[in-house]
Chain A
Amino acid sequence: MQKIEKLDKVTVKFAGDSGDGVQIMGDQFGNVTAVVGNDFATLPDYPAEIRAPQGTTYGVSSYQIQFAAYDVYTPGDNPDVLVAFNPAALKVNLSSLKPGGIIVVNEDEFTEQNLRKAGFPSNPLEDDSLTSYRVNKIPITKLTLEALKDTAIGHREKLRCKNFLALGIISWLFLRPLDPVISFLNKRFSSKPEVLEANLRVLKAGYNICDTMEIFPVHYQIPPARLEPGRYRNINGALATAYGLIVASHKSGVPLIYSGYPITPASEVLQILSALKHHGVIAIQTEDEIAAITMAIGASYAGSIGVTGTSGPGLALKIESLNLAVMTELPLLVFDYQRSGISTGMPTKTEQGDLLFALFGRPSDSHIVILAPSSPSDCFWISIEAVRLATKYMIPVLILSEQFLVHSSEPWKLPELGEIPPIEINFRTDPSRFYPYMRDDKTLARSWVKLGTPGLEHRIGGLEKSNIFGNVSYDPENHDLMTKIRSEKVQRVAQDIPDVKIMGPADADMLVVGWGSTYGHMKAAVEMANSDGMKVALVHLRYLNPLPKNLGDVLRKFKKVLVPELNLGQLQYVLRAKYLVDAIGYNRVTGKPFSVSELLDFIKEEYKGLKMH
């Protein structure tokens, strides 16, 4: 019987070739992490190339997970455990591994050729370059082939099983039950019994060799986190977005049409919705980005909830159409799953680079509502909120989601469907005294008419219209009025959204403000700063246009305001311009989420300056 050592928190990373099955292994490990009750957050990271040349550093795919006995906000900065399927995976990830960390390598892959491809001058398993780590050389390939030697499947298929052998090994290390993985395999390979059998066999073999070979001196165990009572599941941002849209359609009683053109990382949501037709949702893959948004506009015009999703390059193509929706005052949802860089950039990496584009990147004075989810599960709630605002104010809503959120997963406390408030939509049906640009006094929204409703036939379009009557109008004063109304509509949304909450000590001197997916990283860093004796507060924005109405007052309470962003200072620019506060930016554009420790260093440095001042 092996010893068990208890830990509070661990970060594990799996890394290998794009074809090594690292993502599926990570997903399964994450799933079991959820089942044993740890809180966790994940960071899948993969190259844009589908199958990059084997053994190269640029072909390395990885999956990082942080799990703990308490709240986890991020996938972790530096892994405690690295599973490397080849030299390239070791090379790429070694520098981020914690000193003293555990390395599990597939030693069979450390051939001269692979070492050369990875750029190792000599074999790190044989020289002294890894002495500061606990290295476990395991012949994963040989063990896999050995375990499967009397099975009928081919050599290549045998090799593809090695991720589950490794999962068996790591399951032993963290004393994890195999049952959830076994039931997953049963489902996945139900039609291929021999492949199922092979995977089950290597999974168990991986677990058992740890006992027989005594690879590790101890098991590590992370006690369950004290999460709020309730039922939980593991969710990533793509699923949460799709589920949120379906729930919003259900809660409003209005059908939803999602049209999209394949683009990384937005395709994920298109695919998920395509498989959920039984919920009445219609997902259409269009011929291009412009067709995607204009079909959604057509759907909204007809009386459905029109939704489209894309990423930066696609959003650029959609802008003229987006302005048509602004002009015709139609409800529309546009998801921008922000990815890294300008032009094609780094499609599989994350960034927050589109905020200013979302705010200002349209011809003329064009205002729309902009929201940003703060975590994978928040994508669910943001979808519902976007539908509520778009239909209530008859306005396009742009959701600044992020590549990181699409794939990252976390435990999600499942909501009670009955507790989600209905979205009230009142289609106009009364033909008496109807004009297309008559407005609701409070929201300034014009009425939404389902096409086919008798007596309400009307014409809309991109040409300026007279207020109330809706006829084409070149009247100068009318254009001035309509431009101001379209802007005012967005401002009125501020009355309908929650004020920002200040998290942290009430007497803090310094405030950290951010938006979107960096919430977890900022929260972790701010909590650490406070436990280090600093007094730092945090404000996180989910509403970016309009901004919450108390934000100006909140910002002015603090001596110093820090704005960490995965861009070169876009929210910082907005806050400075709008509230005249001397906001200081912390800006990283590495394609990866923040490192909490680096962010903490920045907070410390700024705090020191504040105190000296």
Chain B
Amino acid sequence: MSTPVDEVELIKYKPTDFKSDQDVRWCPGCEDYAILKAFQTALAEIGIPREKHAVISGIGCAARLPYYMTTYGFHTIHGRPIPVATGVKVANPDLSVWVMTGDGDAISIGGNHLIHVMRRNVDINILLFDNRVYGLTKGQYSPTSNKGTINKSAPMGTVEEPAEPLALALASGATFVARTSAAYVKHLVELIIEAHKHKGTSFIHIYQNCYVYNDGVFDEFTEKDVRDDRNLILEHGKPLVFGKNSDKGLRFSDGKIEIVELEPGNPPDDITVYDETNLSLGFALSKLYWPEYPVPMGIFRRVSQPSFEDLIYEQVKKAKEKFSPDINRLLYSGDVWEVK
């Protein structure tokens, strides 16, 4: 076996060291460029050798990303990057495995795999590019589209409630769940690095603007001049305070969240202190949305649990201690008789 990821000698990379010679073919103005850049920046900072990364994608605009990287990469089929990545990780736990997926790929056609990878806690990192629209097929509504969205497959507006990826992840037992926007590149880089450090499935939900088919869908809370008032940055161990002047806070009690006005810089004791291990709080926060509430960004949940592949290899080790790996003994098990 090769050297485990956390034991290899780190290399000083520049983000461009992860940039392949292939022309990037996303539409001009697409926020996928920003995610690609953040990802390359994060990998450079992480510093493990290039050959230790495997970037696996499904189908959709986001799924082209592996071609733009200089790491190992696999552009698979619609909805299936997660089980392919699971196979890669189990086959070689020493790799750092990344999944690049979209709202159609992960929440719709591949929804089943998303649930089960989190339940298993396979040590892979999933980046969900959520633009709330099917871009590559030219503009149909997706499972995360806002109710009432008017587009090509919903000329009178969608009649479906959108899925909330974070709530799904939390309900599926994910051990690392985070959210940011592709507009917040620095935050995204930080989260990618945190996801890499986390042992187990890491899930980063990224609001990503589709300039062509769903432009501005996140603007009302991600635009520069409003984001401080309309986002809530989650920080473990700190009170849930938000607003340009830090003059609002959240109080979580009886499973409900209410907004409290407060004196800047002096939150009262009943403002909830954020705890990234508190599942009910994380779940309640995942349901908050503008304009009723600020949209939370950051790490919703981070807990330590053994990973799928570690448990598998532990069983293999135990079995080897207990039983002989001699293949002749296997073949000759049961009643053997001799014909002379």
Chain A residues with CB under 8 Å of chain B are 31, 34-35, 37, 180, 224, 227-234, 243, 246-247, 250, 255, 257, 259, 276-280, 282, 284, 286-288, 290-292, 294-304, 306, 320-321, 324, 328, 414-415, 417, 450-463, 471-472
Q: Is B175 an interface residue (CB 8 A)?
A: no
B325 pairs with A279, CB closer than 8 A: yes
Q: Which residues of B contact A259 (CB under 8 A)?
A: 87
Shortest Cβ distance from residue A431 to the other chain B in the assembled complex, whole angstroms: 10
Chain B CB within 10 A, most for which of A31, A290, A292 = A290
9 pairs, A vs B, C-beta closer than 8 Å: A247-B331, A276-B330, A278-B320, A278-B325, A301-B74, A301-B87, A303-B92, A460-B74, A461-B74
Which 9 A-B residue pairings sit nearest by Cβ, starting from the closest? Answer: A298-B87, A461-B75, A302-B91, A277-B319, A459-B73, A295-B87, A298-B84, A291-B83, A278-B323
Report B58-80 residues with CB < 8 Å from chain A CB: 59, 66-67, 69-77, 79-80
Distance A227 CA – B338 CA, assembled complex (angstroms): 10
Q: Please determine whether A455 and B73 come into contact, CB atoms closer than 8 angstroms.
A: no
Give CA–CA (A223, B340) in the complex, Å.
Answer: 15
CB-defined contacts of B315 to chain A, threshold 8 Å: 277
- Whether A229 lies near B76 (C-beta < 8 A) is no
Q: Could you tell me if B66 and A301 are in contact, using CB atoms closer than 8 angstroms?
A: no
Would you give the shortest CB distance from A302 to chain B, in whole angstroms?
4
Evaluate whether A35 and B335 lie within 8 angstroms (CB atoms) in the complex, with A460-B75, A461-B75 already known.
Answer: yes
Please, how many angstroms separate the alpha-carbon atoms of A415 and B327 in the complex?
Answer: 11
Does B50 count as interface, using CB distance less than 8 angstroms?
yes
Contact of B319 among A224, A231, A278 (CB under 8 A): A278
**Cross-chain contact B51 with A233 (CB below 8 angstroms):** no
Q: Give, as a whole number of angstroms, the nearest-CB distance from B166 to chain A.
A: 21
Q: How far is the CA of A294 from the CA of B85 in the complex (A)?
A: 9
Contacts of B95 in A (CB 8 A): 302, 451-452
Q: Are the CB atoms of B339 and A34 closer together than 8 Å?
A: no
A297 touches B87 (CB 8 A): yes
Q: Contacts A231-B339, A257-B90, A451-B92 given; 20 further ones with Cβ under 8 A?
A: A31-B335, A243-B330, A250-B327, A287-B113, A287-B116, A290-B80, A292-B83, A294-B87, A295-B90, A299-B88, A301-B87, A302-B91, A302-B95, A324-B77, A451-B91, A451-B95, A454-B49, A455-B51, A458-B72, A462-B76
Residues in chain B near residue A277, CB distance under 8 A = 315-316, 318-320
Is B224 interfacial (CB 8 A cutoff)?
Answer: no
Cα(A463)–Cα(B85), bound, Å: 18
Q: Please give me the residue from chain A that is nearest to B323 by CB atom.
A: A278
CB-CB under 8 A for A229 and B84, given A246-B327, A277-B316, A417-B327: no
The A interface, classified by DSSP as helix, strand, loop or mixed, is mixed
Question: Could you say which residues of chain A place their CB within 8 Å of the CB of B71?
Answer: 457
What's the Cα separation between A228 and B56 when bound, in Å? 52
Question: In whole Å, how far is A332's beta carbon from the nearest beta carbon of chain B?
Answer: 11
With CB as the reference atom, state the residue of chain B lying closest to A455: B51
Chain B positions within 8 Å of A297 at CB level = 76, 84, 87
Given A288-B112, A320-B77, A457-B50, verify A282-B316 contact (CB < 8 Å): yes
Contacts of A31 in B (CB 8 A): 334-335
B325 touches A231 (CB 8 A): no
Report B9 CB to chain A, min CB distance, Å: 12
**Across-interface contacts of B332 in A (CB, < 8 A):** 231, 233, 414
A191 to chain B, nearest CB (A): 17
Residue from B51, B83, B334 in contact with A453 in the complex, judged by beta carbons closer than 8 Å: B51
- Asked if B280 is at the interface (CB within 8 A of a chain A CB), the reply is no
A22 to B20, CA, bound (A): 64
Among B74, B87, B89, B92, point to the contact of A450 (Cβ < 8 A).
Answer: B92
A184 to chain B, nearest CB (A): 9
Report the tally of A-B residue pairs with Cβ distances under 8 A. 203
**Nearest CB on A from B87, distance (A):** 2
Chain B, range 101-130, C-beta contacts under 8 Å to A: 112-113, 115-116
In the complex, the answer to whether B77 meets A321 with C-beta atoms within 8 Å is: yes
Closest to A279 in B: B325
* A280: chain B residues within 8 A (beta carbon): 316, 320, 325
Q: Does B322 contact A (CB under 8 A)?
A: yes
Determine the residue in chain A with the shortest Cβ distance to B321.
A278
Which one of A37, A246, A290, A302 lies within 8 Å of B337 (CB-CB)? A37
Complex: chain B residue closest to A226, CB-CB:
B339
Smallest distance from the beta carbon of A235 to chain B beta carbons, Å?
8
- Residue of B with least CB distance to A449: B72
For residue A300, which residues in chain B have a CB less than 8 angstroms away from its CB? Answer: 87
Question: Which among B92, B334, B340 has the highest number of chain A CB atoms within 10 Å?
Answer: B92
Chain B residues near A37 (CB-CB < 8 A) = 337, 339
Interface residue? B52 (CB, 8 A): yes
Pick from B79, B84, B334: contact of A233, CB below 8 A: B334
CB nearest neighbor in A for B322 = A278
Residue A472 contacts which of B22, B49, B90 (CB distance < 8 angstroms)? B22
**In the complex, chain A residues whose CB is within 8 Å of the CB of B56:** 298
Residues of chain A within 8 A of B320, CB atoms compared: 277-278, 280
CB neighbours (8 Å) of A303 from chain B are 91-92
Residues of chain B contacted by A324 (CB below 8 angstroms): 76-77, 80
B266: interface (CB < 8 Å):
no
CA distance A451 to B66 in the complex (A): 14
With both chains docked as a complex, state the minimum distance between the C-beta of B233 and any C-beta of chain A, in angstroms.
Answer: 34
Quick one: given A279-B330, A290-B80, A461-B66, are A414 and B336 in contact (CB under 8 Å)? yes
> Given A294-B80, A303-B92, A324-B77, are A227 and B327 neighbors across the interface (CB < 8 Å)?
no
In the bound assembly, the distance between CA atoms of A232 and B336 in angstroms comes to 5
CA distance A259 to B91 in the complex (A): 12
In this complex, the member of B71, B88, B323 whose beta carbon has the largest number of chain A beta carbons within 10 angstroms is: B88
In the complex, the answer to whether A298 meets B88 with C-beta atoms within 8 Å is yes
Are B2 and A294 in touch, CB under 8 angstroms?
no
Is the beta-carbon distance between B90 and A284 smaller than 8 angstroms?
yes
Tell me whether A452 and B52 are in contact (CB under 8 A): yes
On whether the beta carbons of B336 and A459 are closer than 8 Å, the reply is no
CB neighbours (8 Å) of A471 from chain B are: 22
- Is the pair A294, B74 in contact by a Cβ cutoff of 8 Å? no
Q: Taking the complex as formed, is B54 at the interface, i.e. its CB lies under 8 A from any CB of chain A?
A: yes
Given the complex of chains A and B, what is the CA–CA distance between A292 and B84 in angstroms?
A: 9
CA distance A425 to B274 in the complex (A): 53
Contacting residues, chain B, for A232 (C-beta < 8 A): 336-339
A31 CB to closest chain B CB, in angstroms? 6
B75 and A456 contact, CB distance less than 8 A = no
Cα distance A461–B100 in the bound complex, in angstroms: 13
Contacts A456-B51, A472-B22 given; does A299 touch B75 at CB 8 Å: no
**Residues from chain B with Cβ under 8 Å of A321 in the complex:** 77, 80
- With A294-B84, A472-B67 as contacts: A234 and B51 at CB distance below 8 Å: no
B338 near A231 with CB under 8 A, answer yes
Docked-complex contact A227 and B339, CB < 8 angstroms: yes
Given contacts A278-B320, A457-B50, contact A247 B327 (CB under 8 A): yes
Contact of B74 among A250, A456, A459, A472 (CB under 8 A): A459
Question: Is B45 an interface residue when CB atoms closer than 8 A count as contact?
Answer: no
Instruction: Give the distance in Å from the alpha carbon of A41 to the alpha carbon of B48 in the complex.
Output: 57
- Check A298–B316 contact: CB distance below 8 A: no
Name A249's closest neighbour in chain B (CB-CB): B327
CA distance A458 to B55 in the complex (A): 10
The smallest beta-carbon distance between A115 and chain B, in angstroms, is 39
When distances are taken between beta carbons in the complex, the residues of chain B under 8 Å from A296 are: 87
- Nearest neighbor of B50 in chain A, beta-carbon distance: A457
Please, which residue of chain B has its CB at the minimum distance from the CB of A416?
B328
On chain A, the residues within 8 Å of B67 by CB distance are 459, 461, 472
* A299 adjacent to B87 (CB under 8 Å): yes
Instruction: A246 to B328: give the CA distance in the assembly, Å.
Output: 11
CA A232 to CA B338, docked complex, whole Å: 6
Q: Is the CB of A255 within 8 A of B91?
A: yes
Q: Which residue of B lies closest to A327 (CB)?
A: B77
| Bound complex: CA A471 to CA B67 (Å) | 8
Task: Find out whether the CB atom of B334 lies under 8 angstroms from the CB atom of A257.
Answer: no
Cβ of A298 and Cβ of B77 under 8 Å apart?
Answer: no
B113 — which chain A residues lie within 8 A by C-beta?
287, 291
